[in-house]
Homo-oligomer: A and B are copies of this chain.
Amino acid sequence: MSDVESFRAQARAWIEENLPASLKGGGARGLTDEGDSYIWGGRRAKWTNPDAKLWLERMGAKGWTAPTWPARYGGGGLSAAEARVLEQELAKAKAPQALASFGIWMLGPVLLEYASEEQKLEHLPKIVRGEIRWCQGYSEPGAGSDLAGLRTQCVDMGDHYLINGAKIWTSYANYADWIFCLVRTDNSKKHEGISFILFDMTSPGIETRPIKLISGNSPFCETFFTDVKEPKRNLVGKLNGGWEIAKRLLQYERQNISSGGFGAGGGYDLPDAAKDYVGIENGKIADADLRTRIAAHKMEAQAFGLTVRRLQEEAKAQKGPSPATSIVKYAAAKLNQDRTELLVEAMGSQGLGWDGDGYKPEEIMAMRGMLRAKANSIEGGTSEINLNVVSKRVLGLLDHQ
């Protein structure tokens, strides 16, 4: 038995032993009081199902919430091959994700690259164990696509920094313990006047206000900083050197939010919905026009899935991402928007519900999912910005001279 296969046996046995019975077999919902199926952890977590807490603690202790991070920072220390095996075994057991975390997806990788040893030792283990929940302080009301136009001031007061300003689209800032935040430390330059800093959301002077979205949910906040004092050791990297870190983190963000196609795989499968709501004639979806568009979409989805897999394989072989990865976010956003629109269309008037008795839960979810998906081409860099990036960095086209 190869090392990897012997690891598979160990992993399977461990999961069998440690995955709480109530979480087995998938479909777990309402694990926390936020009513969703994710385990976000953090100091403020309220556990409606204590098994979810147990599962996080067990996985966190193994470091398997961040399987490839070095063990000295609390990670699993696994090879890429072992990590894939672990993922496969967790999937087989239909185990819920032990920790959903911007700390793992986005912050951790850049800390590993840019932070001081002290900072790594302070923050990474708590991320792995889900003790600290992080949010992202990037966008500002006047700085969306033009992120580097941000204006939140961070002034060096000698023994501390003083922070004033406002952020927007801070995901779950109202639940987060700490924030990783872009601030302006030099007003005389644009990109070179930005720093990357971490701080505790319970610091005095921070206020969060959830933003209600068109889908009815409030996953984002406006976040205000008024004379917030933070220790200077929380600056990551160099003073005024934050833009490089910011860009790297955005790469991780785009990879993470799009490589799964914004969850395009889940939910009511389109052809099934069309069969149920439109009907079947001679074995085909009765509306030939809709059937054609569903087929075209499913083909796009398969092409996308094959592309994500191909790019991963190429990246592995070449020890670095292909330039083509920059198309993934754009393609994923479009795909998920098309999927959710087609699902609503397939359901007819039953897809047009907001709430109430007249609609089944999956019908309401279809509409809200469509509305939510409109953000896919905005969040983490708009599709327009993605296309600019492809045309400039990949295709070598220039700006007006």
Contact = CB atoms under 8 A, between A and B. Distances in A.
For the complex formed by this chain, how many copies does it contain in all? 2
A400 interface: yes
Interface string A279-312: 0000000001101100000000000000000000
Interface string A71-104: 0000000000000000000000000000000000
A291 B291 CA distance: 13
A288 B292 CA distance: 8
Contacts of A288: 288-289, 291-292
Contacts of A400: 400
A292 B288 CA distance: 8
Interface residues of A, number: 5
A259 to B, nearest CB: 31
A159 B289 CA distance: 70
Nearest to A291: B288
A374 B296 CA distance: 26
Contacts of A291: 288
Nearest to A288: B288
A291 B289 CA distance: 9
A151 to B, nearest CB: 21
A268 B400 CA distance: 45
A123 B299 CA distance: 61
Interface in A369-401: 400
Interface centre among A288, A291, A400 (most CB of B within 10 A): A288
A18 B198 CA distance: 91
A133 to B, nearest CB: 42
Nearest to A399: B400
Nearest to A284: B288
A377 B291 CA distance: 32
Nearest to A295: B289
Contacts of A289: 288, 292
A294 to B, nearest CB: 12
A254 B288 CA distance: 38
A292 B291 CA distance: 11
A291 B287 CA distance: 13
A292 B400 CA distance: 41
A298 to B, nearest CB: 14
A392 to B, nearest CB: 16
Nearest to A293: B292
Contacts of A292: 288-289, 292
7 contacts: A288-B288, A288-B289, A288-B291, A288-B292, A289-B292, A292-B292, A400-B400
In the A-B complex, the 4 residue pairs with the smallest Cβ-Cβ separation, listed nearest first, are A288-B288, A289-B292, A292-B292, A400-B400
